[in-house]
Amino acid sequence: MKMILLGAPGAGKGTQAEILSKRLGLVIIGTGNIIREAIASGSALGKKFQSYTDHGALVPDDLVVEMVADRLSQPDCSGRYILDGFPRTVVQAEKFEEMGATVDAVISLVISDEEIMERMTGRRVCERCGTPYHIHHNPPAAEGVCDKCGGTLVTRKDDAPDTVAKRLAVYHEQTEPLVDFYRARGVLTSIDATQGMDRVTEEILAAIGET
């Protein structure tokens, strides 16, 4: 199973990727997490990434495609993965196809901009391992502490209201066209992302024939 999760920032891609990864034994390739790790490492590439992410802009296509190609070449991926946050533009999707990559299912998580704004204010992420949480919808067992690794939960800089507004504009302009791109390839299922987390997971599993 090779799956892509599409959706606006805050639609629940990271959360669903975690759940599906456990249920189906799929490796998560989350470009946002890989980019944040590079930024945290303080490398020159990380600094370059930060100049885009801090302003809600997308990292240039070539850099992201190279990063994904590199990750996919590692043995643990071997044909069973979930792409969370990639592709983000039609150019990335085309380059991905040029690499010879195929996908079995693309899930589009549908949600309004207003709902996204409300959700983002409660979003937290583990600064050590990148696991996503939400203070209301998906809280950790102990406030501010990651269930998985005990790391500190933080609000991402790019979840600030102004940046979220910019990211939503970027989503509509650059990423939403991928819905038609994958619909034309016959692999797209759209799911209402405002339902409870468990219901969204059930609908994804049904869409990929895993119920």
Binding of ligand AMP by 8 (CB under 6 A): no
Rounded distance between C-alpha atoms, residue 30 and residue 86, angstroms: 7
The answer to the question of residue 12 lying near ligand AMP (CB under 6 A) is no
Q: Among positive and negative, which fits the CA dihedral 179, 182, 185, 190?
A: negative
C-beta separation of 123 from 159 below 8 A: yes
- Going from the C-alpha of 125 to that of each of 101, 132, 179, the distances in angstroms are 30, 4, 27
Least distance (Å) from ligand AMP to the CB of residue 112? 18
Residue choice 5, 26, 59, 103 for contact with ligand AMP (CB under 6 A): 59
Q: Is 123 a catalytic residue?
A: yes
Catalytic: 156? yes
Please say which residue, 71 or 167, places its beta carbon nearer to ligand AMP.
Answer: 167
Taking CB under 6 A as the binding criterion, the range among 38-46, 53-61, 135-143, 203-211 that sits at the site for ligand AMP is 53-61
Tell me which of 15, 26, 29, 86 binds ligand AMP, using CB under 6 A: 86
Region 18-37 residues binding ligand AMP, contact defined as CB under 6 A: 31-32, 35
Our finding on whether 88 is near ligand AMP (CB under 6 A) is yes
Under the binding rule (CB under 6 A), the answer on residue 53 touching ligand AMP is yes
Choose, by CB under 6 A, the member of 12, 106, 158, 182 that binds ligand AMP: 158
How many other C-beta atoms are found inside a 10 Å radius of the C-beta of residue 27?
Answer: 17
Residues sharing a CB contact under 8 Å with residue 98, sequence separation 6 or more, in sequence order: none
Q: Can 22 be counted among the known catalytic residues?
A: no
Whichever of 95 and 203 has its CB closer to ligand AMP, that residue is 95
Considering 48, 80, 156, 183, which one is annotated as catalytic? 156
Nearer to ligand AMP, 88 or 134 (CB): 88
What's the CA gap between 52 and 158, in Å, rounded? 10
Q: Which two tokens stand for residue 95?
A: 């380059």
47 Cβ contact partners less than 8 Å away, ≥ 6 residues apart: 39
Give the interface with ligand AMP as residue ranges (CB under 6 A): 9, 31-32, 35, 52-53, 56-59, 64, 85-88, 92, 158, 167
Residues catalogued as catalytic = 13, 88, 123, 156, 167
